[in-house]
Amino acid sequence: MKKYIIHLLLISAGFVLAQEIENDSLLAYQNLEEVIVVSKARFKNEKQYKPLSSVDEYLENSGKVSMIKRGNYAWEASLNNMLSERLSITIDGMQIFGACTDKMDPITSYVDISNLDKITVSSGQHGTQNGATIGGAIDLKIQKNNFGSENLNIGIDTGYESNSSTKIASGELNYSNKKIVLNTDASYRKATNYYAGNNQEVLFSQYEKYNISSSLGFKTSNKSSITGSIIYDQANNVGYPALTMDVSLAKALISAVAYKIDSLSPTINTWETKAYYNTITHVMDDTKRPDVAIHMDMPGWSDTFGFYSKAQMQKNEHSLLFNLNGYYNKSLAEMTMYPNNQNENLMFMLTWPDVRTLYSGFYAEDYLKLKNNWSFLLNGRIGFQNATVADDLGLHSLQIFYPEMKKTTTRILSSLSSKISKKVNNTTFTVGLGYGERAPSVTEAYGFYLYNSFDNYDYVGNPNLKNEKSFESNLGIQYHTKHFTVNTEASYFYIKDYIIGRTNPDLTQMTINADGVRIYTGLNYATIFNTSLKASYKIVSRVLVSGLLSYGLGKDHQGNNLPLIKPFSYRFGLHYKKDFWDTEINLNGSDSQNNFSSYYGENKTGAYTIVNLSSSYRFHFNQTKLYVKAGLENIFDTYYTSYSDWNNIPRPGRNLFINASYIIN
Ligand SMILES: [Cu+2]
């Protein structure tokens, strides 16, 4: 509690500093949400540092999200220093769960930027619209045209990156009129191994991915429409240099049908109902690795059916949102070990014992605009979750550890949060409080001998875990004038029954050379503190400078560091724009990671600074536009690794990239 007060004092000091900055014009409305524009349509994404970069790079360049890297592909998002099990990550409001027991396939890896319009990032309990969460939510919004006057556009993109010989090609065709909208795209990416600074090759870092998607919508009446959409995504030959295995195949089929009514009544603005299905297949591969002690096959599958029905309403000063949703997920993963001695028997295990999760929940939100520039937001969710171990072999294996374990567990998950904002001249102050719960993930509750290469332990799930409970407070100040903006935020999470692995010395590991077995345990509590400061200043009309500072601190109930917490990091940019030219130089860096957790396999990563430079030009012809951007990343070819690099795999060294986008309207 004492620490909590100190944090609050620090934040208040920040407030005072920011208040001293002069005010002179109107302020944009404060929100703890961040929107990352992805859509290539009309070059909306040209502000992006690298327009044809992966979804992962878009997320990494946003202010709020960090990415945990196990290679050059399929990074795992971290928001408020919390990873996927504590986040709600959805595609257009749809639940989708990866099929890898080693987190090789976060769901952000199953889309391409060509599928997306934007990504919304909501912090903490403000992110419960689509599901229960502790750290917040990331929703990837699929690109859709609007019904309207006839419009056809064709886009072609190509990209190349020198460091890993990455080739990127994509094409899209979009058509819309008053009655029909059609969006289609296809993309392909292929990379060889990348090279860290000083020309050191990072073996097993290659990948290949293609993605096709289509959505078709019809007007069913003046005010209503029906839209079907499908995404097929497949990655092959993906290397994970930080892990002991690679992936031969990761594929997803994501499909949905939605029915939407606009202006249903004077109060109901929109009402949308969607049914969806997605299926994922994940196949790991160790056949290309030298010196494999014991060859393993580890495939995994995840299938999800779901729906939501969402209404947006306006009644006097109230903006209301309701979302009723539900899903049914089936997660299954297995492991077969092939001993080198052929006389020994194969060993077979269910690492995810065919877990069936049924969830249904209801979300409500009320945003209230009051007099004198006060506003108030209240949101909450209540959900019921049922998890069943459908496979008897899997159930019996877990019953060796938990003899009393039942086939089915039921949980109730609730959350409530509020935020109050007050605008004074150019400054908006926001204070929020929240409470939320989450159920343990499939791995945390039912995982069976999952090897973690970070701390070198085998992990066993624990079906008796209590729900994790988060008490959250957050503060924000935003100052905005024509030339100057500052946005500072801080959040503090007190998480009760915090789920993490703890060594059980009575158990013996299965993985050769592992250090032992850890069982998922609910710690008494853990705390996580995050803060950031973002500013930009237009020096003259053509020159903009911007900066971002961030810092995080995570401790368990005994004051030990939590793993994967972001140390002090910074980013500065200098941007020059003239006519159709745009040039940018930026500096990206981090202090050394002093608050590391050796218990969870971390060591102190050093401080680093890297410099990037890029420039773009936009050509206009009659019906067509061409946008070309080239840049040099890590100009000085610095060799470095950060807190977010699994097992300290080094980041890429110098890289030259060229992106070209061509649009015919
Ligand atoms: Cu995997």
Find the 192 Cα to ligand 1 centroid distance in Å: 19
Tens digits of residue pLDDT in 168-180: 999 999 999 999 9
Report, as an integer, the average pLDDT of 202-210: 98
38 CB contacts (<8 Å, ≥6 apart)?
Answer: 45, 55, 58, 113, 116, 117, 118, 119, 143
Q: By CB neighbour count within 10 A (0-12 exposed, 13-18 middle, 19+ buried), where does 460 fall?
A: buried
Q: How many degrees, rounded to 5, is the angle at CA 436 between CA 28 and CA 356?
A: 120
Q: 563 CA distance to ligand 1 centroid (A)?
A: 21
How many angstroms is it from 107 CA to the middle of ligand 1? Answer: 13
Ligand 1 centroid distance, CA of 384 (Å): 29
396 backbone dihedrals φ, ψ, rounded to 5°:
-65, -35
Q: How far is the CA of 101 from the centre of ligand 1 (A)?
A: 6
User: Can you list the alpha helix ranges (DSSP code H) found in 470-580?
Assistant: none
Q: In this structure, are residues 491 and 497 in contact, taking their beta carbons and an 8 Å threshold? A: no
Q: Is the pLDDT of residue 97 over 60?
A: yes
- Which tens digits make up the pLDDT trace of 389-434? 999 999 999 999 999 999 999 999 999 999 999 999 999 999 999 9
Rounded to an integer, what distance in angstroms lies between the CA atom of residue 55 and that of residue 38?
8
pLDDT per position as a tens digit, 5-61: 333 333 333 333 332 222 222 222 334 578 888 776 555 566 677 888 999 999 998
Give how far the C-alpha of residue 246 lies from the chain's centroid of Cα atoms, to the nearest Å.
22
- Decide which of 3.30.200.20, 3.40.50.1100, 2.40.170.20, 3.90.1150.10 is the CATH code for 2-337+344-664: 2.40.170.20
Q: How far is the CA of 325 from the centre of ligand 1 (A)?
A: 29
Q: How far is the CA of 518 from the centre of ligand 1 (A)?
A: 20
pLDDT tens digits along 319-349 = 999 999 999 999 999 999 998 888 888 999 9
Do 219 and 225 meet the contact criterion of CB atoms below 8 Å apart?
A: yes
- Ligand 1 centre to CA of 373 (Å) is 50
Ligand 1 centroid, distance to 105 Cα (angstroms): 7
From the CA of 554, how far away is ligand 1's center (Å)?
Answer: 27
Burial annotation 275-309 (CB, 10 A radius, 16+ → b, else e): ebbbbbbbbbbbeeeeeeeeebbbbbbbbbbbbbe
The Å distance, Cα 357 to ligand 1 centre, comes to 21
What is the pLDDT at residue 487? 95
Ligand 1 centroid distance, CA of 361 (Å) = 30
> How far is the centre of ligand 1, averaged over its atoms, from the C-alpha of 74 (Å)?
11
Whether residue 383 is predicted with pLDDT greater than 80 in this model: the reply is yes
b or e along 543-555 (b: 16 or more beta carbons within 10 Å of the residue's beta carbon)?
Answer: ebebbbebbbbbb
Residues of the chain with pLDDT > 70: what percent?
94
Q: What is the CA radius of gyration of the chain?
A: 25
Percent of the chain at pLDDT > 90 equals: 85
Q: How far is the CA of 282 from the centre of ligand 1 (A)?
A: 6
- Judged by DSSP in three states, 388 sits in strand
- Rounded to the nearest angstrom, the distance between the alpha carbon of 207 and the centre of ligand 1 is 14
Distance 284 CA to ligand 1 centre (A): 5
Gap from CA of 246 to ligand 1 centroid (Å): 7
Distance 109 CA to ligand 1 centre (A): 12
Residues forming beta bridges with residue 97, ordered by sequence position: none
Secondary structure letter of residue 69 according to DSSP = B
Q: What backbone phi and psi angles, to 5 degrees, belong to 605? A: -90, 145
How far apart are the CA of 104 and the centre of ligand 1, in A? 5
> Residue ranges of the domains in the chain?
2-337+344-664
